[in-house]
Structure 1
Amino acid sequence: MADDETRTLSRAPSAPTTTPAPPSGAGAPAWTTRLVLVGLVLAALNLRPAITSLGALFEEVRDGLHMSGSVAGVLTSVPPLCFAVFGVFAPRLARRFGPAVVVCAGMVAIAAGLLLRPFAGGTPGFLAASALALMGIAVSNVLMPVIVKRYFPDRVGSMTGLYSMALAAGTALAAAATVPVTDVLGGSWRTGLSVWALLAAVAVLPWLLLVRDRGGRSTGQPSAVREEAEAPAFKITRSRTAWALACFFGLQATAAYITMGWMPQIFRDAGVSAGTAGVLLAVTMVMGVPLAFVIPRVATRMRNQGPIVAVLGACGLAGYAGLYFAPAAGAWAWALLLGISNCAFPLALTMIGMRTRTGTGVVRLSAFAQSTGYLISIPGPTLVGALYDSSGGWGLPIALMAGLMVPQIVVGSLAGRDRTVEDEAGMRD
C-alpha cells in the first residue's frame, strides 16, 4: 500500500517546475515520527467533542443559562464561523512558530475553553470560552494535513485515514457518552461538559514533548521557514482546483451539519421514538470510523478521485430520497447511506494533500479550502430550519438537502482531477 501511495504522490508534474525541498519530516528520528503519530491521533480525538458534547446537553445548557431562542440559534452557528475565521491565521502562525507548536497551543486552548465554559458565569462567558476552544480546533483542523504531509509524505492516504478515523471516533464518543457520564457524575450539565477537558489535556503531552526538542527537527520550524522562503510565490485564489476543493469542502460540511442538527427530528416527526432517533444518528456518525480509514487509502491509489465523489454523492441522494418517501419504514437504511455519504470529509482532507507538491502549498490550500468551506456551510442548517417552519413539513428541507448533493458531486469531481495548485497558480505570477 505504501508503495502505491508513494507512486501516486511522487508522480512528476506535467510541466517543468522548481524541484521542491525534501519534506521536513524526512529522515526524522523514529521516536519523533512515533510521537507525531500519537499526537495526531490524540489531537484528532479532540476536534469535535466540544461540539457534540454540547449538542447532547443543549436543552440543559439553555435552561441553565436562561438562553433565549435567538441566542441558542447563534450558538449553533458559532463552530463553522470560528473554523472559518480562525483557520485563516493557521498558515501565518505555522510559518512563525512551526506547525507542532501551533497544534500544541491549539490543544491547550481546547482544554482551557472546555474547562472554563461551564463555569464562566453566564451566556457571554459561555460563548467566549466556547470560542477559545473552537479557535484551538480551527488552527488544528488546518494543520493536520500539513503535519501529515511533513512527517509522512509517502503515507498521506493511510495517515489521513488514521486521524480521520480518530476524529470520527471522538465525534461519536462525545455524542454517545456525554449524557451517561453526566448522570454518573451527579447529573450536572456543567460537570458533564467540563469532563472533556481531560481528554484535551492528555493530547497536549505528545506535542509538548515535540516542542521541547527544539534542537532537533521535530518542531519543523527551521525547515518550514526555509521552505516558505524558497518556494515560488503563488496566489491560491488563481487555482481552479483550490476553488473546487473549497466548494466541495463547504458542501460536504453543510450536509454534515444538517445531518447532525436535524436528522433525529426528521425521524421523530415520522413516528420514530426519541431514543431510536438518537441511535440512528449515532449509527450515521459511527459509519465514519471505519470508512474514514479506508477511503483515503483507496483515494491515494487513484489518479482521479471523481468516481469516489460520485459514489458518496449517490449514497447521499439515495438516503435523502428514502427520508422523503419512507422515513420511518427504512430508517436504518437511510442512516447507513447518509453515514457513507458524510465520509466525503476524509476524502476532502486527503485531496488537500494530493493536490499540492510542497509544504507551502499544502498549508495554503488547507487554510483556504477549510476556511472558505466552513463559511459556505454556515447558512445551511439555519435555512433548513426556516424551510421547515415556513412549510410545516420536511418535504422542502429534504429536497434542498438532495439538491445540494448535485453541485457537491460536480465540484468534488473537479477537485479530484490529477493536478496541483502550484501548477495552476504558481507559475502565473
Structure 2
Amino acid sequence: MIIRRRVPGRSAERRDPARPGARARTRGLAVVALLLVAFNLRPAVTSLGPVLAEARSALGMSGAVAGLLTSVPALCFALVGVAAPRLARRYGPSAVVAAGTAVVAVGLVLRPLAGGTVLFLALSAFALAGIAVANVLLPVVVKQRFPDQVGRMTGLYSMALNLGAAVAAAATVPLSGAFGGEWRWGLGAWGVVAALAVPPWIALARIRTADRAPQSASVPPPGPASGPGPGPGAGMTRSPTAWALAAYFGLQAGAAYVVIGWLPQMFRDAGLPPGTAGLLFAVTSLLGVPLSFALSALAGRLRRQSGIAVALGVFGLAGYAGLWAAPAAAPWVWAVLLGVANCSFPLALTMIGLRGRNSATVVRLSAFAQSTGYLLSIPVPFLVGALYERTDGWRVPLVLLAVLMVAQLAAGVLAGRDRSVG
C-alpha cells in the first residue's frame, strides 16, 4: 500500500491561521475591519447636529427632547455595552462586532423614514445599540490581535473614528442639498456607508483561532462550554483605578456628546450659517485624525498618562471660555481648542488597554468603564438642552460644562497613574 503524505499548501495554510503567511493576512484583515467599523461609530450622531434644527421642525421636537436625543447614545452604550462581554464569550468578539455593525446599518437606513419623534428616537437607539457593542469590544480585539501594539492600533482606529465623525458632520448638509434639500436623505446615506463595514468582520469571524485563545491572553472561548462567566463588573468595583477610568470616560463622553449634539447650534445661534456651523464642528472631529494616533502612540509608551489628561482638560476649558465670551469672534479657534480636548476619548481607550493585565481583564474593564461611564454621562446633554431652553442662551450651559471639565481633569489624573487592574 502506498501512503501519500499531504504536502501543506495554500489551503492548509488557510485552515491554520498560526502559519506566518496566514497570520499576516489575518492581521491585515483585522486592520481593515477595525478601520472600517471605527469610521462608522460616530456618523449616527454627528450627522444629526448640522440638520438638528430641520429635524426638530419636521418632527415637532422640543429643546428638552432634542437634549434627550443627544443623551440616547450614552444611554444605549451604558445599557447595551454590559452585554458585550457575555456575547463575546459565546460567539467570539469578531462575530459580535459583525452583527453590531449590521444593526447600525439597518437602523441608519430606516431612521430617516420615521414620521414622528418616538419612532425616530427608537430607530436611533437601535442603531446606537450596535455601536455600543462595537465600542466595548474594539479595545478587546486590539489587545487580542495586537497585544504588542495597543497604543498604536488604538490610535489608528481612533483616527478612523474621528475621520468618520468629521466627514459625517461636514457632508450631511451637502448630501441633503444634493437630494433637493431633504435632510432625511442626508441622514440615511450613512446607513449605506455602515453596510460596507460588515463583510470584513464576517470574514474575520470565520477565522476563529484568535477568538479561541487561552484565557490568559484572551476572552474565554465562545460556545456553551464557556458558561456565563464573570459579569462585566467582576472585580472592577473594588478597583479605584477602574472607577477613575469610568469617571474619566463618562465625563469626557458627556462633554463629547454636548459638542456633537449642540456645537453646530451654538454657532448658528451666534449668527453663522448652517454650512459653516457644520464645517466648524467637522474641524473638532478632523483634528482627532492625526492627534488621536500621535496621542495614543505617545500614551502607550508612557507609564503615566496623567499629564496628557491635564493638558487636554486645559484645552477644553479654554474652548468653553471662548464660546462663553465671544462665540462669533474667533469660531475657528474655539473649534480647534475643543477638537484637541475631544482627544480625551482615544486617551481613555488607550488607558483601558494599558491598565488591564491581559485581554480577559480588558474585556471586563472596557465593559465596566464604558458602561458605567456612559451611564454617568447620560444627564449631561439633557441638562445642557434644558438649560439652553430655560435661559434662552448658552452662557449657563457653558458654565456647567466648565465645572464638569474640571472634574474630568481630576479623574484623568487618577486614571493615568501607573496602576494595573486584575
- TM-score after normalising by structure 2: 0.86
4+ runs deviating over 6 angstroms: 24-28
8 Å CA contact 2:212, 2:221 repeated in 1: no
Partners of 2:383 and 2:19 lie apart in 1 by 46
Partners of 2:178 and 2:326 lie apart in 1 by 37
The amino acid of 1:98's aligned partner reads: G
Matches within 5 A, 1:369-384: 369-384=369-384
1:221 Cα deviation from its structure 2 partner = 7.2
Matches within 5 A, 1:384-423: 384-422=384-422
Partners of 2:292 and 2:379 lie apart in 1 by 26
The amino acid of 2:377's aligned partner reads: S
Q: Given the alignment of the two structures, is residue 225 of structure 1 paired with residue 231 of structure 2, yes or no?
A: no
Q: 1:52 aligns with which of 34, 46, 50?
A: 46
The amino acid of 1:225's aligned partner reads: P
1:105 is matched with which residue?
99
1:314 is matched with which residue?
314
* Cα displacement string for residues 54-74 of structure 1 (whole angstroms, at most 9, x for unaligned residues): 333333334444445554443
1:283 is matched with which residue?
283
The amino acid of 1:157's aligned partner reads: G
Q: Kindly tell me: are residues 62 and 399 of structure 1, through their superposed partners in 2, closer, same or farther at Cα, counting changes over 3 Å?
A: closer
Provide the aligned length of Structure 1 versus Structure 2: 396
* Cα displacement string for residues 310-344 of structure 1 (whole angstroms, at most 9, x for unaligned residues): 11111112222222333333332222111111110
Partners of 1:306 and 1:190 lie apart in 2 by 43
* RMSD value, Cα: 2.6
* Secondary structure of the corresponding residue to residue 224 of structure 1: coil
Q: Kindly tell me: are residues 47 and 316 of structure 1, through their superposed partners in 2, closer, same or farther at Cα, counting changes over 3 Å?
A: same
8 Å CA contact 1:46, 1:199 repeated in 2: yes
8 Å CA contact 1:99, 1:220 repeated in 2: no
8 Å CA contact 2:219, 2:363 repeated in 1: no
8 Å CA contact 2:43, 2:169 repeated in 1: yes
8 Å CA contact 2:136, 2:363 repeated in 1: yes
8 Å CA contact 2:80, 2:132 repeated in 1: yes
Matches within 5 A, 1:29-428: 29-67=23-61, 71-120=65-114, 122-214=116-208, 217-220=209-212, 224-225=219-220, 235-422=235-422
1:307 Cα deviation from its structure 2 partner = 0.7
Segments of structure 1 that go 5 or more residues without pairing to the other structure are 1-23, 423-429
Partners of 1:319 and 1:115 lie apart in 2 by 34
8 Å CA contact 2:46, 2:261 repeated in 1: no
1:288 Cα deviation from its structure 2 partner = 1.1
Partners of 1:99 and 1:243 lie apart in 2 by 24
Partners of 1:140 and 1:204 lie apart in 2 by 12
* Cα displacement string for residues 37-88 of structure 1 (whole angstroms, at most 9, x for unaligned residues): 1000000011011112233333333444444555444323211111111011
* Secondary structure of the corresponding residue to residue 238 of structure 1: coil
1:25 Cα deviation from its structure 2 partner = 9.2
Q: Kindly tell me: are residues 258 and 154 of structure 1, through their superposed partners in 2, closer, same or farther at Cα, counting changes over 3 Å?
A: same
Segments of structure 2 that go 5 or more residues without pairing to the other structure are 1-16
* Cα displacement string for residues 369-399 of structure 1 (whole angstroms, at most 9, x for unaligned residues): 1111111111112222333344444333222
- TM-score after normalising by structure 1: 0.85
* Secondary structure of the corresponding residue to residue 225 of structure 1: coil
